[in-house]
Chains A and B, each alone.
Chain A
Amino acid sequence: MDVLIAAALAVLQPHMLLIVLLGVTAGLFVGALPGLTATMALALMLPFTFTMDALEGLVALGAVYMGTIYGGAFTAILINTPGTPSSIATTFDGHPMAKQGRALEAISIATIASVIGGVVGVLFLLVAAPPLAQLALKFGPSEMFWVAILGLTLIGSLGTGSVLKGLLGGAIGLLIGTIGISPIGGESRFTFGWPPLQAGISLIVALIGLFVIPELLNMMRQGRAALDADTGLGNSGFRFGAAMTTVLSKPVNLIRSCLIGQIIAIIPGAGGSITSLVAYNEAKRGSDDPDSFGKGNPEGLVASESSNNVMVAGSMVPLLTLGIPGAPPDAVILGVMLLHGLRPGLDLFAETGVLANGFIISMGLAALMLIPVGLLGGRLIYQVIKRTPHYFLVPTILVITMLGTYALRNNLVDVALMLGLGMVGFVIRGLGLDAAPIVLGLILGTIAEQGYVQTILGGMAMDIPQLRLLENTLSQILIVLTVAVIGWTAWPKRTRKRE
C-alpha cells in the first residue's frame, strides 16, 4: 500500500499531469485520423522519451495510447470510418445515431464508456495482474487456433445482413490474409513474382480501403448522410447527464463488455482489433431487442467503446508481468522499458514498484482526462466536420487517409492497394456485403493458420498430429463455446420463422 501511495504521489506532480494532458490530446487527434494508428503514434514519440526519465517516458506513452484508442471513436461516429481497427464496432451504432442527429449524444456516450473502460482496465491491472498473466500463458498454439475459429463464428451474427453474405465476406478476408510471406514456412504466396507483395495486405490498408473509401464515394454520390438533418437533439449540447444515465442504465452490458475486453486483451496476438467486435456481438446477443442494433442503439456503442479502452491497460498485464506484448503498440512500450534498463516481470513490481504502479496509475489518470479533453476536442471535431461541406470534406479525408496509408510502412504500394480495395469495397457494398466480416476474416485467418501449423508441427512425433488440437482443457472449452455459438446463430432464426 505504501508503494501505491508513493506511486500516486510520483504521478500527481504538475509536470506529470501536463504530460498526461498533452499525451491524451495528441493521441485523440492521431486516433481520429484514419490510417494513423496507436503503434505509429507511439513510435513517433520514442525519441522524445529518451530525454525523459523512465517514469515520465512511460506515462507519456500510456497517455498517447489511451488517447488514440478513444480518438478512433470520433470518425467512427461522425463519418462512419473507424480511426483505428479497435473502433470498427463503434461505427455500427455510433454512425446511425449521428445520422439521426444524435452525434453529440453518441460522442458523450462513447466518452463515458471509454473512461469507464479505461479505469476498469487499470483496476484489473492493479489488483489481478498475476493470475491474469497465468491465464494468458495458457493460450498456446492450439488454443489460439480455437480462439480464431470462435472469432470467425462471430461473422454469422455480426451485422444485419444475411449469414450467407457474412460468411462470403469472411472467406474473402481469409483469402486476402494469405497474400505475402506465409507466417509459418516462409514461402511467398500469391505475390505473382512481384516483390512488394511479400509484405502482404496489411490490416490497416484493408480497413481504410474497405471502410473509408466506399463511405467517401457514397458521400460524393448522395451528398452527406447529413449530420445537419437536425432532429432538434443534436445541438442541445452534450447531454452529459443523459448520456451517463444511458450508459449506467444497462450495467450488465457494461460489465460484460469490460470483462470481454480484459480477457481478449491478455490473449497475446489477438489484440484490440477484435475486442470491440466481440463485445458488440455479445451485447447484441444478450439484448432483449437484438434487431435494434445497427440502427443507433446506444448499447452497441457502449459495448464497443468500453471494451476497447479496457484493452489499453488490460494488454499491459502480459507486458508488465511477463514481458509479452499483447498488442502491437505494447511492443514499443516494451522497447522503451528495456532501454531504460527495466526488465518486465514480477521483479518489476518488487524492485521498481513505484515506477510500475506509477505507470499504471497514470493510465487511470489518462482515462479520466478523456472527459475534459474528449468533450472539448469532440465538440471541435464535430463542429469542423459538420460545417465543412462534403465537397471539401471528401477530398480532405481522402488525402489524410492516403498519407496515413503511406506512413504506415512508407510504401506507395500500400496506397495503391488501399485505393484498389476501396473500389472493390464500394462494389461489394452495393451487393450487400459488409466490410466487417472481411476485416475479421483477414485478422483471424492469420492467427488460425499460425496456431494450426504450430500445433501440428509440435505433434510430429505422434501418429495423428491433429489430435493435439483437442488435447488441452482450454481448447476443449473453446470448442464447446464455438459449437454453442454456431447453434445459437442457427437455432433462434428457425424458431422465429416457424412462429
Chain B
Amino acid sequence: MTKTKLTPFASLLGAVAGLALAVPAVAQDFPSRAIEYIIPFNPGGESDITARMQEPMMEEALGVSVNVRHQPGGGGAVAWAEFQGNAEPDGHEIIGINLPHIVGQPIQRTDAGYTTEGFDIITWFHFTPHVLVVRADSPFQSLDDLVNFAKENPQSLTVGGSGTFSGNHLETLRMEQLTEADVTYIPFTGTGPLPAAILGGHVGAVISNSTLGVQMGDDVRVLAVASEERLDVLPDTPTFRELGYDIVGGTYRGVAAPKGTPPERIEMLANLFTEMNTTMAERQVPMGFQMTDIRGQAAIDLLARLRDQYGDFLTQ
C-alpha cells in the first residue's frame, strides 16, 4: 500500500514543483506557514475521513504542516459563520464546504451567520449522489411500486433522511413534486441513525447518500440513484432519469478559502486537491464516492443550479 502511494506523491511533488517554476512569486511566499483546514462536522464522518486522508498528502506536497480542525455545530453553520467573519484571505486558512448545505441554510435561517457567496470556492472534489433505499424484504421492487403505493396511500409511507431542509429532505420534496407521490419525511440527526431506521423498519424507505447504499450491501435494495449515469459500484440500480424523473442531486463536498484570496493561490490549491483525488479514488470510489473537479465559474454555476432546484421549497 505504501509503495503504490509513493508514485502519486512523486508526481504530485513534480506537479507542484512545475507550478512553482511557472509562478515563482507565489511559490516563494506561499505557503509560508501551517495550513489550517477546518472541518465543520464531527470526527468520523465522511468529510472528516476525507480530510484525514488529504492531510499527509498536502503536507508532503506543500512542505508545511496541515492542521485539520473540527468545528462542528449547527449543521456546519457555526464554522462557516466564523470562517467568513475571521479567516485571513491568504490561502493559509481553508474550510470544508458542503452542498446543498451552504445554499439551503442562509435561505432558511435568519441567523445562519454566513452567505453562500461569501467564499472563494477552491474546488468541489466529491459528489455522493442521493439514493432511494428500502430494506431487502420490502414489497417495493422498483421506484414505480413505491410511487404507486404513495399515491394510493397518501402520507402513510415514511421516508427517513438526515436533517430538515437538508439535501436529503429537499430531494424527498423534489421527488414528491415530480412523481406526485405523497410521503412523510422523517428527519434523523445525521446519517449515523439511518441504517438502524431502515433495518429496524422504523421508516419505509430512506433517502441518503450513495455511500450508505454501498455500505449496507445486501441488507437493502437501492431503488434509484440521483446521478446522471449509473454508478459502477451499484451497476443494477437505475438512475431517476432512466425512470423518467429528472432528479440529479446529492451531497457535494469541496474546499473554500475566504473571499479575496489571491486567485493564483486558489488555483494552486485546486490543482493540489485534484491531484489528491486521483490517489484517493482507489479507496473512495469503491465506497460510493464520485471524484469531481468543479471549480471556477462551474462551481458558481452549481450554486445557482441548486438554488433554482431547491429554492422554492426553502422559501415556502
Q: B153 — which chain A residues lie within 8 A by C-beta?
A: 461
Q: B77 — which chain A residues lie within 8 A by C-beta?
A: 181, 195, 198
Of the candidates B44, B164, B283, the one whose C-beta lies within 8 Å of that of A332 is B44
A193 close to B42 (CB less than 8 A): no
Any B CB within 8 A of the CB of A240? no
Any A CB within 8 A of the CB of B31? no
A43 close to B193 (CB less than 8 A): no
Any B CB within 8 A of the CB of A324? yes
Any A CB within 8 A of the CB of B3? no
Any A CB within 8 A of the CB of B312? no
1/0 contact string of B56-89 vs chain A (CB within 8 Å): 1000000000000111111101100110000000
Instruction: Give chain A nearest CB distance to B313 CB in angstroms.
Output: 12
B56 close to A198 (CB less than 8 A): no
A198 close to B78 (CB less than 8 A): yes
A183 close to B44 (CB less than 8 A): no
A195 close to B112 (CB less than 8 A): yes
1/0 contact string of B1-42 vs chain A (CB within 8 Å): 010000000000000000000000000000000000010001
Number of chain B interface residues as a range:
35 or more
Number of chain A interface residues as a range:
35 or more
Q: A323 — which chain B residues lie within 8 A by C-beta?
A: 195, 215-216
Of the candidates A51, A140, A199, A332, the one whose C-beta lies within 8 Å of that of B202 is A140
* CB contact list, B68-118 vs A, under 8 A: 69-75, 77-78, 81-82, 108-114
Q: A333 — which chain B residues lie within 8 A by C-beta?
A: 44
Any B CB within 8 A of the CB of A347? yes
* CB contact list, A2-34 vs B, under 8 A: none
Q: B215 — which chain A residues lie within 8 A by C-beta?
A: 323, 338, 343-344
A184 close to B283 (CB less than 8 A): no
Q: A322-B196, A331-B42 are in contact. Are A43 and B74 (CB under 8 A)?
A: no
Q: A47 — which chain B residues lie within 8 A by C-beta?
A: 52, 55-56
Looking across the interface, which residue of chain B has its beta carbon closest to that of A337? B215
1/0 contact string of B205-221 vs chain A (CB within 8 Å): 00000010001111100
B113 close to A195 (CB less than 8 A): yes
Q: B113 — which chain A residues lie within 8 A by C-beta?
A: 195-196, 198
Q: A185-B164, A193-B110, A461-B156 are in contact. Are A325 and B192 (CB under 8 A)?
A: yes
1/0 contact string of A177-210 vs chain B (CB within 8 Å): 0001101111110010111101110000000000
Besides the known contacts A185-B164, A343-B217, A410-B38, 6 further A-B residue pairs in the complex with CB atoms under 8 A apart? A47-B52, A50-B53, A138-B200, A140-B201, A181-B75, A186-B75
Can you list 7 pairs linking A and B with CB atoms under 8 Å apart? A200-B74, A323-B195, A324-B195, A339-B287, A411-B73, A454-B187, A454-B188
